[in-house]
Every structure is written in structure tokens, then in C-alpha cells.
Structure 1
Amino acid sequence: MIVELLLVLGGLALLVLGGDLLVKGAVGLSLKLGMTPLVVGLTVVAFGTSAPELLVSLSAALKGSSGIAMGNVVGSNIANVLVILGVTALVSVIVTKGHDLRESWGMMIAASLLLIGIALTGEIGRLEGVILLLALAAVLWRQLSTGRAEETQADGVDGATLGAGWGRIAVWLGLGLVLLPVGANLLVNGATDIARAFGISETVIGLTLVAIGTSLPELAASVASALKGRADMALGNVVGSNIFNILAILGITAVISPLPIPPEMLRLDLWVMLGAALLLFPFLFRGISLTRPVGALFVAGYAAYAWVLL
């Protein structure tokens, strides 16, 4: 069991490091090629920060562990709202006024409902995967076509990345592309072995341990933003990440390897994912700030959900 735990911890460490390096390299390359920060944020950074989830889901699906593949995405979306926003709110109040994410929130809800509708058929097949990817293309087109000029500043891109040379960018990209698949493979193998040893379903492992692990880059970025006085950035990160997790990660994974839907996920987890997304309605539409008590409630809600699963 010690070996399996080391595999999980080592896999998580490689995923976090690899994801960070890949994002840095991709952003640096994109800016070198003249892409605007808005386009970089909506495409390159979105792909990069979701790379751990994508690699884990693909690796799990190809090994026949569809429970981990599905649980990773659904669990990450639940954790993004309840854990990432909860912890960020505990660090610093998240002000929602002046940050119009209502349309993006609607896209997140639509993507969640689309996933639930597909899941009711019992499988996300290749055709359904294509549908998810087409929906992703529509979302990206809408976001890019409606981007405001004031949103094109490079928020969240550090000076080292902005001024990086070609050699440094190549090293970041190379290391990221190597560490991510290695970390994903270690994490999936370790998590699967632990699940079997304790008689816990792979779906539960995917919904909790793997989901939290692959969400660590987003958590670290959100907390760092809060410490810098930009806690509001966590809202956009979470909404965008949840849309991307459903449409891109499940879409790509299903096209490569169809995903059967674990029956238990239809009874609870998909509805918790939708419920967590709906929790953001009053904050985004009424301009209510996410205060520390709200953050504590979010984190407690996730703890209760994890307790029910285990």
C-alpha cells in the first residue's frame, strides 16, 4: 500500500509541476507569436490548466477505468465550486460586482445539462464526443467574438513568462509534455490499486482523490490571486474550467475511447455537480460577494459530499 500511495503522491506532484510548466511555455509561445492575452486566456491557458484532467481521463479510459475518467471530470467540477471558491473566499472575500460572468455561467449550466442528458443514455460515445466538441467550438467563438477591449490585458501572466526567450519556452514546453503523461499514468495506476485494495469503487476514487489532485493547479492559482488582491479572478477561472472540463475533456476522451456511465453517478454525482453550479446564481446575478462564512459553507458542503461517498 505504501508503494501505491507513493505512486499517487508522485503522480500528483508531476501533474502539478508539468501543468504549470506547460501553461508557462504555451502562454510564452502564444505571446511570442502575437496572440492577444484574451485569446491566450480563453484557449491556451484553458487547455494548459486542464491538461492534468485531460491526461488522467484519457489514461484511465484507455485502461478501461471509465469510472476514474468520468469521476475525474465530474468531481473536478464539484471541487472547483465548493473547494476552490470556498478556500479562496476564506483567504479573501470574492467581490462579484463589476465582473459580468452571467453569460458564461449560463454556458456552464447548459454544458452540465447537456452532459446529464447524454449520460442518461448510458454512454458517452464517439458521436456524443463530437457533439461536446462542437459545443466547445461554439462557446469559444462566442467568448472570442464578444470579448471587450478592457479584457485583453494579461491578467495572471507573470513578467517572467511575458519576457521569456525561445530557449526557456522550449524547455518549459518539453518538460511539461513529458511530466504530464508520466504523472497521469502514475496517478491512475496508484489510485486504481488503492481502490481495489480497499474495495472502494474507481468512480469514488475519481470523484474525490483524483479530482482534487488534478484541480490543485487551479486551487494554487486562485489562492495566489487572492493573496495578490485579485480573488475575483477565481470566479472566471472556475466557470471557464468547468465548461472546458465537460466539453473538451469528455469530448476528446469519448472520441478516442467511449465512456460508459457508472450507474451510481446518475443517482447522485451529476446532480451534485449541477447543484454546485446553480449555487453561484445569486452571487453572479445579484452582485453578492462570496464572504468568508460563505466560503466555509462551501468547503463544509464538499466535506459532507465526500463523507456520503465514502
Structure 2
Amino acid sequence: MLMMIFAAVAGLVALVGGGELLVRGAVQLAERARVTPLIVGLVIVGFGTSMPELVTSVEAAMRDAPGIAWGNIIGSNIANSLLILGMAAAITPIILGQGKILRDPLIAVSASVLLLLLAISGSGTFLLGLAMLAGLATYIVYCYRQEKRIERQAGTDHVAPIDKAIALELTDPALHGKRNGWGKPVALTLLGLLILIGGGHLLVGAAVDIARIFGLSETLIGLTIVAVGTSLPELVTTIIAAWRKQAEVAFGNVIGSNIYNILGIGGATMLLAPGAIPSELISRDLPVMVASAILLLLVCFFFRKFGRVTGLLLVAGYCAYLGILVAAAL
């Protein structure tokens, strides 16, 4: 049992560490190839920071553990919306500006509703996965054009994927390396990818074994241990962004992560391991994910801020959700 717990912790550490190395290497490769900073933020950093969730969900799906795969995606979004954003707001109020703050939350709600409808219909095909990835690609292209327009207008109203990149840079100021050759960036990228894959293998294997020993469902493990563990990078970057008074960056980091999780990770999971989303997620967890996305949209629309009280209520809501999960498992 201790070995399984050790393997799970080691897997989580490897996922976080490997993800950091991968992002650092990929950013340096992109800069060495003279890719624009905008593309680095939208694509390289956006996907790189979502790699722990991606590797874990794909590994779980390919090992015939769909409960962990989809539980990780759905649980990560619930944790992002309630726990991570709530903790950030509890530390320092997140006051949003007058820009188009409803744009990305609306996309996040739409993606959440789409996932719920797919689960209800029992659909889970290669083509659907491809369509979800195409949807994410369309979103990224839209963000690119929007950001270029904002740059020309000298505005500050970033799109969510750019906020993801800024949040990471606030956490890791040394993210951008010197252009001193291809060797180091390639080595960092490959090493990060190998560590990520190994960490995902360790974590999923340990999670499946722990679930079987205690008679717990794989979905429960995916919704809790795996989801929170793979969301640690978002937790750190969001809290630091909020602490440094980058309120809209902190908020955009959470929303951007939620969109990438559903369309990117969900699409890749369905593409590589086609299959229906587990039906046990339909009655409770998917509605909670949709409700939390709608809640964030409503707060943005009516209040344009997440104060400390709101933050504490979000965290309390997540604790209540965990309590319901545990009670249902007993």
C-alpha cells in the first residue's frame, strides 16, 4: 500500500516537474525558431501547461480506465472554478476590468454544456474527438486575431490563453532562455516529455491499484486525487498572479485552462481512445462542472469581481462537493 501511495506522489511530482521542463524547452525552441511571442503564449505555453492533464487522461483512457480519464478532466475544471479561483480571491480580491470579460467565460460554458450533452447521448467517437480539437484550434485562431487587434489598438484586454502564458511567466520569470543553440532546448523538451509520460504512467497505475484495494470507483479517484494533483500548476500560477495584483490574468488563467481541458484534453482523449463518457458522471459531476462555469459567468456579468467573501464561498462549495463525493463512496 505504501508503495502505491509513493508511486502516486512520485507520479504527481514527475507530472509537474516534467511539465515545467517541457514548457521551458518548448518556449526556447520556439524563440530559437523565431516564432512570434503571441504564438508562444497561445499555443506553446497554453498546451504545455495543460500537458499534465493531457498525459494523465490519455494514459488512463488507453489503459481502459475511462473513469480516471474523464474524472480528471471534469474534476480539474471543478477544482479550477471553485477551489483555485476561490483560493486566489480569498487571498486578494479579483476585480475585473471593463473589457470583454464575458467572452471567454461564455466559451467555457458552451464547452461544458457540449461535454454534458455528449455524455448524455453516449457519444464518443474518433470524429467527435477530432471535432473538439478543431474547435480548440478555431478558438486559438480567433484568439490570435483578437490579440493582434488588441495590440494594434494598444489595449490591455487579453484573451484567456494569453493570460495563461502571463500567469506562468509571473511564476517563472526565467522561462525565456538565451538563444545559444538548439541542443539545450531540444534536450529540455525531450526530457520533459519523457518525465511527463513516466509520471502519467506511475500516477494512473497507482490510482487504479488504490481504487481497487479500497473498493472505490476509478471515477472517484479521477475526480479527486488525480484532478487536484494535475491542477497544481494552475493553482500556483493563479495564486501568484492574484498576489501580484494581476486580477484579470489570474481569472483568465482559470478560464483558459477550463477551455483547454474540455476541448483539447477531452478531444485528444476521445481521439486516441474513443469511447463514451462514463454514465456515472452524468447525474452529479458534469452538472456541477456546468453549474460552476455558469456561476463564474454570472459573477462576471453582475458583479465584475470576486471578493474575499465570494472566494471563501467558492472554496466552501468545493469542500461541500468533496464531502458529497466521499459520502457517496462510503
Task: Tell me, yes or no, whether TM beats 0.5.
Answer: yes
Structure 2 residue runs of 5 or longer lacking an equivalent are none
Equivalent-residue separation in structure 1 for 2:47 and 2:30 (angstroms):
13
Aligned to 1:155: 166
Question: Which one of 288, 297, 307 corresponds to residue 291 of structure 1?
Answer: 307
Query: Are 2:322 and 1:278 equivalent residues in the alignment?
Result: no
Superposition pairs of residues 1-310 of structure 1, within 5 angstroms: 1-147=1-147, 148-149=150-151, 150=155, 151=158, 155-156=166-167, 157=169, 158-164=172-178, 165-166=180-181, 167-310=183-326
> Greater shift after overlay, 170-179 or 78-87?
170-179
Give the Cα separation in 2 of the matches to 1:302 and 1:289.
Answer: 19
Secondary structure in 2 matching 1:9? helix
CA–CA distance in structure 1, aligned partners of residues 78 and 297 of structure 2: 15
Native 8 Å contact 2:119 2:279 kept in 1 = no
Q: Whole-Å Cα distance in 2 between the matches of residues 16 and 74 of structure 1?
A: 19
SS at match of 2:115: helix
Give the 3-state SS of the residue equivalent to 1:34 in structure 2: coil
Q: CA deviation at 1:28?
A: 2.3
Q: Which whole-Å CA distance do the structure 1 matches of 2:79 and 2:323 have between them?
A: 14
Amino acid at match of 1:204: L
Contact 2:120 2:279 in 1 (8 A): no
Answer yes or no: is the 8 Å Cα contact 2:96–2:247 preserved in 1: no
Shift of residue 287, structure 1, vs aligned partner: 4.6
Take 1:24 and 1:68, find their aligned partners in 2: how far apart are those partners?
28
TM-score by length of 1: 0.94
Please tell me whether the aligned partners of residues 70 and 261 of structure 1 are also in contact (alpha carbons under 8 angstroms).
Answer: yes
Indicate if the aligned counterparts of 2:234 and 2:253 stay in contact, CA closer than 8 A. Answer: yes
Query: CA–CA distance in 1 between the matches of 2:32 and 2:242?
Result: 28
**SS of corresponding position for 1:162:** coil
Separation in structure 1 between the aligned mates of residue 68 and residue 120 of structure 2, nearest angstrom: 18
Distance 1:64 1:155, change over 3 A: closer
Aligned partners of 2:261, 2:75: CA distance in 1, in Å? 10
State the percentage of identical aligned residues: 43
Aligned length: 310
Which segments of 5 or more consecutive residues in structure 1 lack a partner in the other structure?
none
Question: C-alpha distance in 2, partners of 1:225/1:21?
Answer: 21
Aligned-residue offset at 1:108:
0.9
Separation in structure 1 between the aligned mates of residue 70 and residue 8 of structure 2, nearest angstrom: 18
Which residue identity is paired with 1:303? Answer: C
Alignment check: 8 A CA contact 1:53 1:214 kept: yes
Q: Distance in 1 between matches of 2:321 and 2:308?
A: 20
Residues 96 and 283 of structure 1 are in contact (CA less than 8 Å); yes or no, is this contact kept in structure 2?
no
Root-mean-square deviation (CA, aligned residues, Å) is 1.8
Q: Distance in 2 between matches of 1:59 and 1:300?
A: 31
- In structure 2, the CA distance between the partners of 1:189 and 1:255, relative to structure 1 (3 Å rule), is same
Which deviates more from structure 2 when the two are superposed, residues 280-289 or residues 117-126?
A: 280-289
Residue 279 of structure 1 aligns to a residue in which SS? Answer: helix
Displacement of 1:79 in angstroms is 0.5
Do 2:106 and 2:297's aligned partners in 1 also have CA atoms closer than 8 Å?
no
Q: Which moved more, 1:224-233 or 1:288-297?
A: 224-233
- The offset of 1:223, in angstroms, is 1.6
Distance 1:99 1:176, change over 3 A: farther
Query: How many Å apart are 1:159 and its aligned residue?
Result: 4.5
Distance 1:155 1:257 in 2: 32
1:107-150 CA deviation, whole Å, 9 max, x = no partner?
Answer: 11111111111111224211211221121122112111111104
SS of the equivalent of 2:269 reads helix
The answer to whether the 8 A contact 1:70-1:259 is kept is no
Mapped to 2, the partners of 1:212 and 1:142 lie a distance apart of 30
Structure 1: distance between partners of 2:55 and 2:12: 12
Counterparts of 2:319 and 2:225 in 1: how far apart (Å)? 13
